[in-house]
A and B are shown apart, each in its own frame.
Chain A
Amino acid sequence: MAAIPGTAHEDIASRPGGDTIVSHVVRWTFISVSLLFLAALLFAPLATVFVMAFAKGWRAYVTSFTDPDTAAAIRLTLTIALIVVPINTVFGLAASWATAKFEFRGKSFLITLIDLPLAVSPVISGLIYVLLFGLRGWFGTWLQDHDISIIFAVPGIVLATMFVTFPYVARELIPLMQQLGNDEEEAALTLGAGGWITFFRVTLPKVRWGLVYGVILCNARAMGEFGAVSVVSGHVRGLTNTMPLHIEILYNEYNFVGAFAVASLLTLLAVVTLIVKTLVERTGYRRR
């Protein structure tokens, strides 16, 4: 979802009937309805996060992060993102190379399958791994006999997060690579460059903004995923609690400063994500 540049903005008075009282009324009605709707639904909740986080002052805000369970949740979320994002990035690069550079039968079907996790409810994304690896799942008994825990442990959280964020890098790169074509790559190969050199020196610089875009979206989703992770995590404090899950626990314990303090970090992450996204779009990169 990209911000659309304002190409249709022209001086309203230069258009026929543009400077009448009616057109001014319509114009300000549209602008105020939009702003009121966004204020109630989006800006008020965003402001609430920070107001609630600082409700008892700076000291309480900062102190809430010294809680060992909160610190553990932040560490776990960072660990999960550090595992999931690079793997999905490599997958996205491989998938886009295979589908954008070559013609083969079943290609559009393959692309549809890659997008599949986006259509699935987050709860289902967690459920499917419980059905596979949970105690009463397909491999439950085998895993128990071999003393391996996936569900209610970190591997399950990694798998569920990977499923949810699976398509983000790939769906950014596939249309971009298709659009940019293969001419430079073919020229590089003709001039004697190897496959890897061509990839790192020609293709990667060509698609770099699409890659940045996909990676930051993937990262934002990986750090913020709630539903899928909630199903597989088991909510063990200090062990399998990610930041979004920890927010739920603190909130349900009426520790509002703590809950909103963690929420404020995730809100800042979302703001940074949107800023990077806007900067990438300013380079001329546009999502199709």
Chain B
Amino acid sequence: MATLKQPSVLPGFGLTFGFTTFFLTTIVLIPLAALVLMTASITWHDFVKVVFSARALGSYRLSFGASFLAASINLVFGFVIAWTLVRYEFPGRKAIDALIDMPFALPTAVSGIALTTVFAENGWIGQYLQPLGIKVAYTWIGVTVALTLIGMPFAVRSVQPALLEVQRDLEDAAETLGASRFYVFRRIILPTVLPALLTGFTLAFARAVGEYGSVIFIAGNLPLKTEITPLLIVIRLEEFDYKGAAALGFVMLVISFAFLLTINLLQAWGRKRLISRVR
């Protein structure tokens, strides 16, 4: 240990490092390894059969399609909300700023039953959509609505600090020189917030793909149609098909890691751009 660690006058490295790695290994690493090992014990043929079954493919289509759509909605509205909170003063701004984090603090089961009630055929919003022929609850639209709510804070909170970084004097200079509002947006604001927008999009997307609680209430949970991948894993487990559940779980784990990598790369890119701008 002494060779790995640089000398310090502070005590307690052995104790805290030991506890940290021990706890991390027992709670996180060994259980995750169990998933990988269980998947490794499946033959290739069986693995392909589970992972590419029609029902699994249907669930990927819904999970990724609805998550992508929800993240795209959040990309647009996340920017609009962040812009409103950063640039404008209006009554209740501070309260709304605080409430943005609500979906993060609110248990998913609560947002699930509440959204279903609001968007049901006789619900506050659902009753006005019903005559238009739009059915939200128990369809893929409902899944998208739930995933949009879950991802919203990630999108807003990523863009907000980046918008504060935009140099107002540059905007003023551009406008004085005759640039249109749209030109200022395209050439000054957008380049500054682009890494943050993409980070927010990816965070919201990643979160939505794994979401379970809020979706299962509003989705109809019909195989091939409104069944998300996490639900299919739960169904496999309830059938005591551990290997099938592990194979699907492994696929989702690999996708989560791909998202994690993308987010880290996007954040590194954003920092690099910021530094090169300051220089």
Using a CB–CB cutoff of 8 Å, the interface residues on chain A facing chain B are 1-4, 6-9, 12, 15-17, 22, 26-27, 30-31, 33-35, 37-38, 40-46, 48-49, 52, 90-91, 94-95, 97-99, 101-106, 110, 113-114, 116-117, 119-124, 127-132, 134-138, 159, 162-163, 166, 182, 185-186, 189-190, 195, 198-199, 217, 220, 223-227, 230-231, 243-245, 247-248, 251, 259-260, 263, 266-267, 269-270, 273-275, 277-278
Q: Is the beta-carbon distance between B81 and A37 smaller than 8 angstroms?
A: yes
A46 and B107 within 8 A (CB): no
Interface residue B260 (Cβ < 8 Å from any Cβ of A): yes
Given contacts A4-B160, A9-B89, A48-B114, contact A30 B84 (CB under 8 A): yes
Give the residues in chain B near A40, CB-CB below 8 Å.
Answer: 125
Within 8 Å CB of A186, what residues of B?
9-10
Cβ–Cβ < 8 Å partners of B270 in chain A: none
Asked if residues B34 and A44 are in contact (CB atoms below 8 Å), the reply is no
Q: How many residues on chain B are close to A (CB under 8 Å)?
A: 103
In the complex, what residues of A have CB within 8 A of residue B256's CB?
119-121, 124
A128 contacts B84, CB within 8 Å?
no
* Segment of B42-50, B98-106, B186-194, B271-279 engaged in the interface with chain A: B98-106
- Minimum CB–CB distance for A283 against chain B, Å: 15
Report the Cα distance A16→B171, complex, angstroms. Answer: 10
| Contact across chains for B113 and A263 when beta carbons are under 8 A apart | yes
Residue of chain B at shortest CB distance from A170: B20
Cβ A8 vs Cβ B164 within 8 A: yes
C-alpha spacing A114/B93, complex, angstroms: 35
| CB-based contact A129/B260 at 8 Å | no
Asked if B30 is an interface residue, CB under 8 A from chain A, the answer is: yes
* Contact A274 B105, CB 8 Å, known A38-B99, A251-B217: yes
Residue contact A132 to B31, C-beta cutoff 8 Å: yes
Residues of B within 8 A of A (CB): 4-6, 8-13, 15-17, 19-21, 23-24, 27-32, 34-35, 37-38, 77, 80-81, 83-90, 93-94, 96-111, 113-115, 117-118, 123-125, 145, 148-149, 152-154, 157, 160-161, 163-164, 168, 172, 175-176, 181, 206, 209-213, 217, 230-231, 233-234, 237, 240, 242, 245-246, 249, 252-253, 256-257, 259-260
Q: A40-B125, A124-B252, A136-B242 are in contact. Are A34 and B80 (CB under 8 A)?
A: yes
Chain A interface secondary structure, helix, strand, loop or mixed? Answer: helix
- The residue of chain A having its C-beta at the shortest distance from the C-beta of B171 within the complex is A15
Q: How distant is B229 from chain A, measured CB to nearest CB, in Å? A: 8
Q: Tell me the smallest distance from the CB of B212 to a CB of chain A, in Å.
A: 4
CA distance A99 to B19 in the complex (A): 12
Residue of A nearest to B32 (CB): A128
What are the 10 A-B residue pairs with the smallest beta carbon separation, nearest first? A224-B107, A121-B210, A45-B114, A226-B213, A227-B212, A128-B31, A195-B11, A98-B16, A123-B230, A270-B105
Given contact pairs A16-B172, A263-B109, A44 touches B125 in the complex (Cβ within 8 A): yes
Partner of A102, one of B13, B19, B114, B145: B13
**Which residues of B are found within 8 Å of A269, using beta-carbon distances?**
105
Is there contact, CB below 8 Å, between B164 and A131?
A: no
Is A225 in contact with B107, judged by CB distance below 8 angstroms?
Answer: yes
How many angstroms between the C-alpha atoms of A30 and B6 in the bound complex?
52
Give the residue among B30, B90, B123 with the most A Cβ atoms within 10 A: B90
Which B residue's beta carbon lies closest to that of A199?
B12
Q: How far is the CB of A93 from chain B (nearest CB, A)?
A: 8
| Contact assessment for B105 and A121 in the assembled complex, using a CB-CB cutoff below 8 Å | no
Given contacts A44-B125, A124-B35, A159-B27, contact A6 B86 (CB under 8 A): yes
| C-alpha gap A217/B217 in the complex (Å) | 24
Q: Which residues of A lie under 8 Å from residue B114 when comparing CB positions?
A: 45-46, 48-49, 263
Cross-chain contact of A132 among B30, B175, B181 (Cβ < 8 A): B30
CB distance A103 to B164 under 8 Å?
no
Contact partners of A247 in chain B: CB under 8 A: 109-110, 113
Q: With A2-B157, A123-B233, A159-B27 known to touch, is A226 a contact of B6 (CB < 8 Å)? A: no
- What's the least CB distance linking B35 to chain A, in Å? 5
The reply to whether B97 and A3 contact each other, CB–CB distance below 8 Å, is yes
Chain A nearest Cβ from B60, distance in angstroms: 13
Task: Specify which of B80, B107, B237, B259 is in contact with A30 (CB 8 Å cutoff).
Answer: B80
16 pairs, CB–CB < 8 Å, chain A vs chain B: A8-B168, A33-B77, A46-B114, A94-B19, A102-B5, A113-B28, A123-B249, A127-B245, A127-B249, A128-B31, A131-B246, A136-B242, A137-B242, A227-B212, A227-B213, A270-B102
Q: Is the CB of A130 within 8 A of B237?
A: yes
Contact A8 B102 (CB under 8 A): no
- 4 additional A-B residue pairs with CB within 8 Å, beyond A48-B124, A266-B107, A269-B105: A1-B154, A30-B80, A44-B124, A124-B233
Contacts of A260 in B (CB 8 A): 113
Asked if B237 contacts A15 (CB within 8 A), the reply is no
Closest CB of chain B to A241's CB: distance in Å? 12
In the bound assembly, the distance between CA atoms of A231 and B230 in angstroms comes to 11
- B88 adjacent to A27 (CB under 8 Å): yes
Q: Chain A residues near B93 (CB, 8 Å)?
A: 6
Option from B11, B31, B154, B172 in Cβ contact (under 8 Å) with A163: B31
Asked if A274 meets B31 with Cβ closer than 8 Å, knowing A46-B114, A231-B234, the reply is: no
